A and B are shown apart, each in its own frame.
Chain A
Amino acid sequence: MKRLASHALFWPVITLLALIALNTAVNPGFLAVSLRDGHLYGNLVDILNRAAPLALVSAGMTLVIAARGLDISVGAVVAITAAMAALLIGGSLNLDGETTSRFPMWFALVAALGVATLCGLWNGALVVGVGMQPIIATLILMVAGRGIAQLITGGQILTIYYPPYSYLGNGYLLGLPFAAVLATLVIVALHALLSLTPLGLFIRAIGINPVAARIAGVRSRPITVALYAFCGLTAGLAGLIISSNVKSADANNAGQLLELDAILAVTLGGTALTGGRFSLAGTALGALIIQTLTSTIYSLGVPPEVNLVFRAALIFIVMLLQSAEFRATVRRLVTRPERA
């Protein structure tokens, strides 16, 4: 069992190491980590920090996909959550430099995350209750969500002046970026939940054969709704981190295309898009791969106008590396002369 797990994560790990090696080759100081004011600094720490929102969203997405679902509204949920938090905390720059929040910060955080969870529940209700195709059901919120976020922000980019809020995205806990610590905690807790309860078994059963799972007595409907709600919650956490990071809420651009990066991270980690087989650790690696890739593009100094093309090419190479069929083809091409 252990050997199998390490085998399943083998290629994601190789890919990540290859990207890090590439970066180190270009920039010899890439691996350096230094301690300043009790905080760790360095490219690797930076990648951990920046990958946190994506890792959180991808963790929720992993479970939804494992149960044969899909949630393409996570980017919009990020925007809604950011807008909610910005509105509730608000804060204005006083002349004397003192800032206050409109509501207590804990209330703003809980309310924003509550709204995010409600968004997920809405998706789950459409998929399970109404019986819509997941991609269509979540497309509704993906499109409408940006509108909702704009309504909340009044069509403007809300700036959050309340300093404590910026801790989420910029603060440090025990020398490590708080966002990275939070993402790690969520993923570890989720992993514990999946292995200490039969939830993982149920999710796999639903993903592999939903009809048989229902007949076997698995309550697939409430479980599926809960998974969508959880996915909304993780998108909400990502929304808080992202808005805290830039100290503002941008209804149009916060979490833009995050849903596609999340699906990519899930796929890179070895989770089957057809449901059933999934790996949380793989997803975390996937998120790190994507963030490292982004860093690579910056460190290589790729001109902005070809940035996206370059990124696509890199992703293409990574996906080829991960494809068992492609590797088999290469192996055949290599071994053919020996056979002949």
Chain B
Amino acid sequence: MADLNAPVLVARGIVHSYGGKPALDGVDFTLRAGEVHALMGQNGAGKSTLIKVLTGAERLQRGSITLAGAGIAPTSPHHAQQLGISTVYQEVNLCPNLSVAENIFAGRQPMKPWTRGGGIDWRALNAQAKTLLAGLDVDIDPRRELASCSVAVQQMVAIARAIDISAKVLILDEPTSSLDADEVKLLFRTLERLRAGGMAILFVTHFLDQVYAVSDRITVLRNGKLVGEHLATDLDQPALIAAMVGRAVPAGGGAQAQAQEAAASSKTDCVLRASGVSRRGAVDDVSFELARGEILGLAGLLGSGRTEVARLLFGLDRADAGELVVNGAAVVLKDPAHAISHRLGFCPEERKTEGIVEDLSIRDNILLTLQARAGLWKKLPAADGRALTDKLAQALDIRAPDLDGPIGTLSGGNQQKCVIARALATDPAVLILDEPTRGIDVAGKQEIMNRLIELAREGLAIVFISAEIDELTRVATKIIVMRDRRQAGELPAGASPDDVYSMIAAAPDRGAAA
């Protein structure tokens, strides 16, 4: 079995520092042929640095790396790839305007034999791409423009590009963070196939259940140091979390108690009511009521219409049917600014492209919405702005060396907190959060969830969207399940993840993914 297989990639005593600040401190790592090896750790544990060193994105400073017995020192990702170490990054690094086949073979496209450097052999290119993708169980036309493919297929294309170069080692850096459950299954099937072929696979993820679904072995890092290497079967989930965090983490929750609390205290305090809200091609007929202190969970697979509902609620798209009542007044939301004026707050799904304004300071990012609502002629006094951002940074525990520094330098979890702080700065009645915990490490996730529960206790109404059903069932006082862009049903607080899954699966006809 896997543990009998020979080590392929061995790193010993890796020490790496950025400008004197150590990121890795004597880390050992062994990757064997025919295994899927999960690299786990909180943000800042050194996972990315280790991967960068292994793939040549960072020069090896101290320690040794051997690949199949021979010492190597990759100088660039391209060099590492030539040596046989291929990497698929978290954000898909492909050209969306090229075709699938072009993306796979860009830079090493098959040429027609009778020309040198002149003619690309398009037929061979597309045929080879087709074969390669078929080997990964992806059945699409390789001539399609990449941008028209789902993120999962794009991920597969990235993998196809990586493994085509006769790789011995495949490194996947958070490949699943934007995939839904079916797509993850498809990816895992591919990984299993590659593993059976003897590929050594290194896999980084924040999703704990996925670690157990696919990995043979787990290596845990903490604060740049190796905590340990374990067989996946020997390390259960609580033990894994404890190893990553360095202490036991209590799971937040109490949704039921809170639901009762909310129901008892404020039955009539309905702040947001949707009846039959629809938009052609996006969502059909969504209805719910949301009271102060309630957390409404929106569950469903990727593409089920979760995000589309959030966009309608915040005026990012306009509803073409149905009614939305905010604080007792029927409104037709024209744009986000309009929604904000009705005391709605929003934290978008894509933190980098829709959330943060990267080069602006943390303070400016947090104050942006408040200032935009106040308008052009009412500049927020600087002292008030500082006081408010200090307060919010403390309340949400935003860890930043300097609030006047650019937000782009913060970790993902802290950036996310800033986007939430931006919405909270306007004192909203309803806060809509689309995947607020995506791509954030376990401890950060838990912190954000706990903070949301507190906010709800203080009377905020929350609409909460998450792909992680157990996270949703833990905090929501009410869950709406979306399926095929329709409301499949509503579940009360205390529903189990299985209840949600069975409601998602109850569809009479569910198309296969991809």
Cβ of A309 under 8 Å from chain B: no
Residues of the A chain whose Cβ atoms lie less than 8 Å from the Cβ of B353: 209, 211-212
Whether A212 pairs with B359 at a CB distance below 8 angstroms is no
Q: How far is the CA of A97 from the CA of B398 in the complex (A)?
A: 76
Cβ of A118 under 8 Å from chain B: no
Q: How far is the CA of A208 from the CA of B353 in the complex (A)?
A: 10
Residues of the B chain whose Cβ atoms lie less than 8 Å from the Cβ of A211: 353-354
Whether A217 pairs with B377 at a CB distance below 8 angstroms is no
Q: A201-B371, A218-B337, A218-B372 are in contact. Are A213 and B357 (CB under 8 A)?
A: yes
Q: Look across to chain A and name the residue whose beta carbon is closest to the beta carbon of B426.
A: A217
Cβ of B235 under 8 Å from chain A: no
Q: Look across to chain A and name the residue whose beta carbon is closest to the beta carbon of B376.
A: A197
Residues of the A chain whose Cβ atoms lie less than 8 Å from the Cβ of B376: 197-199, 202
Whether A209 pairs with B379 at a CB distance below 8 angstroms is no
A205 in complex: contacting residue of B355, B357, B373, B374, CB < 8 Å = B357
Q: Look across to chain B and name the residue whose beta carbon is closest to the beta carbon of A202.
A: B372
Q: How far is the CA of A219 from the CA of B364 in the complex (A)?
A: 16
Q: A201-B364, A201-B368, A276-B359 are in contact. Are A217 and B354 (CB under 8 A)?
A: no
Cβ of B369 under 8 Å from chain A: yes
For window 190-222 of A, CB contacts with B under 8 Å fall at 196-199, 201-202, 204-205, 208-209, 211-219
B346 in complex: contacting residue of A201, A204, A213, A215, CB < 8 Å = A215
CB within 8 Å: A-B pair count:
74
Residues of the B chain whose Cβ atoms lie less than 8 Å from the Cβ of A213: 357, 368
Residues of the B chain whose Cβ atoms lie less than 8 Å from the Cβ of A196: 379
Whether B368 pairs with A208 at a CB distance below 8 angstroms is no
Cβ of A277 under 8 Å from chain B: yes
Cβ of B335 under 8 Å from chain A: yes
Q: How far is the CA of A219 from the CA of B369 in the complex (A)?
A: 10
Residues of the B chain whose Cβ atoms lie less than 8 Å from the Cβ of A204: 357, 359-360
Q: A212-B353, A213-B368, A219-B337 are in contact. Are A198 and B380 (CB under 8 A)?
A: yes
Whether A205 pairs with B360 at a CB distance below 8 angstroms is yes
Residues of the A chain whose Cβ atoms lie less than 8 Å from the Cβ of B339: 217
The CB with the most chain A CB atoms within 10 A, among B348, B355, B368, B380, is that of: B368
Q: A215-B336, A216-B422, A217-B337 are in contact. Are A198 and B379 (CB under 8 A)?
A: yes
Residues of the B chain whose Cβ atoms lie less than 8 Å from the Cβ of A277: 359
Nearest Cβ in chain A — how far from B293, in angstroms? Answer: 25
Q: How far is the CA of A150 from the CA of B414 in the complex (A)?
A: 58
Residues of the A chain whose Cβ atoms lie less than 8 Å from the Cβ of B356: 209, 212
Whether B377 pairs with A209 at a CB distance below 8 angstroms is no
Whether B360 pairs with A218 at a CB distance below 8 angstroms is no
Residues of the B chain whose Cβ atoms lie less than 8 Å from the Cβ of A216: 336, 357, 368-369, 372, 422
Nearest Cβ in chain A — how far from B434, in angstroms? Answer: 10
Cβ of B340 under 8 Å from chain A: yes
Residues of the A chain whose Cβ atoms lie less than 8 Å from the Cβ of B348: 212, 215
Cβ of B58 under 8 Å from chain A: no
Q: Look across to chain A and name the residue whose beta carbon is closest to the beta carbon of B345.
A: A217
Cβ of B316 under 8 Å from chain A: yes
Whether B372 pairs with A215 at a CB distance below 8 angstroms is no
Q: How far is the CA of A175 from the CA of B324 in the complex (A)?
A: 64
Residues of the B chain whose Cβ atoms lie less than 8 Å from the Cβ of A202: 371-372, 376
A208 in complex: contacting residue of B357, B371, B422, CB < 8 Å = B357
Whether A209 pairs with B357 at a CB distance below 8 angstroms is yes
Whether B357 pairs with A212 at a CB distance below 8 angstroms is yes
Nearest Cβ in chain A — how far from B407, in angstroms? Answer: 10
The CB with the most chain A CB atoms within 10 A, among B316, B353, B354, is that of: B354
Whether B340 pairs with A217 at a CB distance below 8 angstroms is yes
Nearest Cβ in chain B — how far from A220, in angstroms? Answer: 9
Residues of the A chain whose Cβ atoms lie less than 8 Å from the Cβ of B354: 211-212, 215
Whether A205 pairs with B358 at a CB distance below 8 angstroms is no
Whether B358 pairs with A208 at a CB distance below 8 angstroms is yes
Q: How far is the CA of A217 from the CA of B340 in the complex (A)?
A: 7
Whether B372 pairs with A219 at a CB distance below 8 angstroms is yes
Q: How far is the CA of A40 from the CA of B104 in the complex (A)?
A: 68
The CB with the most chain B CB atoms within 10 A, among A199, A202, A212, A216, is that of: A216
Q: Look across to chain B and name the residue whose beta carbon is closest to the beta carbon of A193.
A: B376
Q: Look across to chain A and name the residue whose beta carbon is closest to the beta carbon of B337.
A: A217
Residues of the A chain whose Cβ atoms lie less than 8 Å from the Cβ of B374: 198
Residues of the A chain whose Cβ atoms lie less than 8 Å from the Cβ of B373: 217
Nearest Cβ in chain B — how far from A221, in angstroms? Answer: 8
Q: Look across to chain A and name the residue whose beta carbon is closest to the beta carbon of B316.
A: A215
Residues of the A chain whose Cβ atoms lie less than 8 Å from the Cβ of B335: 214, 219
Residues of the A chain whose Cβ atoms lie less than 8 Å from the Cβ of B336: 214-217
Residues of the A chain whose Cβ atoms lie less than 8 Å from the Cβ of B377: 197
Q: How far is the CA of A216 from the CA of B345 in the complex (A)?
A: 9
Residues of the B chain whose Cβ atoms lie less than 8 Å from the Cβ of A201: 360, 364, 368, 371
For window 413-428 of B, CB contacts with A under 8 Å fall at 422
Q: How far is the CA of A224 from the CA of B355 in the complex (A)?
A: 20
Residues of the A chain whose Cβ atoms lie less than 8 Å from the Cβ of B358: 208-209
Residues of the B chain whose Cβ atoms lie less than 8 Å from the Cβ of A197: 376-377, 379
Whether B372 pairs with A217 at a CB distance below 8 angstroms is yes
Residues of the B chain whose Cβ atoms lie less than 8 Å from the Cβ of A205: 357, 360, 364, 368
Q: Look across to chain B and name the residue whose beta carbon is closest to the beta carbon of A204.
A: B360
Q: Look across to chain A and name the residue whose beta carbon is closest to the beta carbon of B408.
A: A208
Nearest Cβ in chain A — how far from B311, in angstroms? Answer: 10
Residues of the B chain whose Cβ atoms lie less than 8 Å from the Cβ of A209: 353, 356-358
Q: Look across to chain B and name the residue whose beta carbon is closest to the beta carbon of A276.
A: B359
Nearest Cβ in chain B — how far from A210, in angstroms? Answer: 10
Nearest Cβ in chain B — how far from A222, in angstroms? Answer: 10
Nearest Cβ in chain B — how far from A127, in angstroms? Answer: 17
Q: Look across to chain A and name the residue whose beta carbon is closest to the beta carbon of B368.
A: A216
**Which 3 A/B pairs are nearest by Cβ-Cβ distance?**
A217-B372, A217-B340, A217-B337
Enumerate 17 A-B pairs (CB-CB under 8 Å) in ascending A order: A196-B379, A198-B379, A202-B376, A204-B360, A208-B358, A208-B360, A209-B353, A209-B357, A211-B353, A215-B336, A215-B346, A216-B368, A216-B422, A217-B337, A217-B368, A217-B369, A217-B372
- Which residues of A are at the interface with B, using a C-beta cutoff of 8 A? 196-199, 201-202, 204-205, 208-209, 211-219, 276-277
- Which residues of B are at the interface with A, using a C-beta cutoff of 8 A? 314, 316, 335-337, 339-340, 346, 348, 353-360, 364, 368-369, 371-374, 376-377, 379-380, 422
